[in-house]
Structure 1
């Protein structure tokens, strides 16, 4: 066995005889910033359309559900109490109790994407620098991290927390 050999579980061909998988028809994708979520969201939206599934989308003229508050069905475009959806795939603040009011299927699959927090912070700082005064005021990410209290303004609506 060599140093770079794959693990035994991959060297065997057992995975070829595994039980077949089937498509998930009830999905909640918690889209997260700067993790590749837009690519996954695009695939989910195409799948939702092709499979003729019911998609919950944010209110008109919004690309996210309200991010300053936890998710609530009232943030869904044209929501009517009692309506059931198959898929949600947008940015939102997770609230399982409220999500279950619209994703009523017991087999709903919940997932998200995680990224190394250091590279995610670097990417977020660069991407959001122009939009957040706390970031745009700092000379660099290092400056922001070393002087976070100096740049943070809790009263400003766009200050990241």
Structure 2
């Protein structure tokens, strides 16, 4: 049948054009798009993080988040505690405090939180000596490679 042969030839020609022209061009464009991030990683030691990737991750985490019931225990001395572990996070890398109101506030809030849980771990941008003296566990986070302003959070 002549119509089927013409249809087959058009299909075959389309496949050949795709395989020999369109697909290699698309592969080349994808490879070129990876060159700039690769060079950034090689020379600056950082991966590009796109804003929409961050927003998508935040949206995904927010959708999965749900409240967990807390059953506090009231002790005879009036102290309240929670059966579980606590986490205190402070990531203001641009602000290194060693004394003063913010320093004391951070340390004593962490101390009080530690008193209400089985254990408390603080994730902090630098070591707080007062927390060591108070016996509160802390982990010092690595700072971002570039931390100009609040965008590094």
Check whether TM > 0.5.
Answer: no
Larger proportion of strand = 2
- Bigger CA radius of gyration: 2
